[in-house]
Structure 1
Amino acid sequence: MRTYKADKIRNVALLGHSSCGKTTITEALLFQTKVTNRMGKVEDGNTVSDFDKEEKERQVSIGTSVIPIEYQDTKINFLDTPGYFDFVGEVYGALRVADGAV
Structure 2
Amino acid sequence: MSEIFSAVDALIAKARDGGDLPQPAERERLRKAAGLTQVEVAEALDVRRETLARWESGKAHPQASKRGAYAFLLAGLADIHGTQGPDGWLIPARAAKPASTEKGE
Q: Using structure 2 for the length normalisation, give the TM-score.
A: 0.28
More helix by share: 2
The higher relative CO (CA closer than 8 Å, separation ≥ 6) is in 1
Compare CA radii of gyration and give the structure with the larger one. 2
What TM-score do you get using the length of structure 1 for normalisation?
A: 0.29
Structure with a larger share of its residues in strand = 1
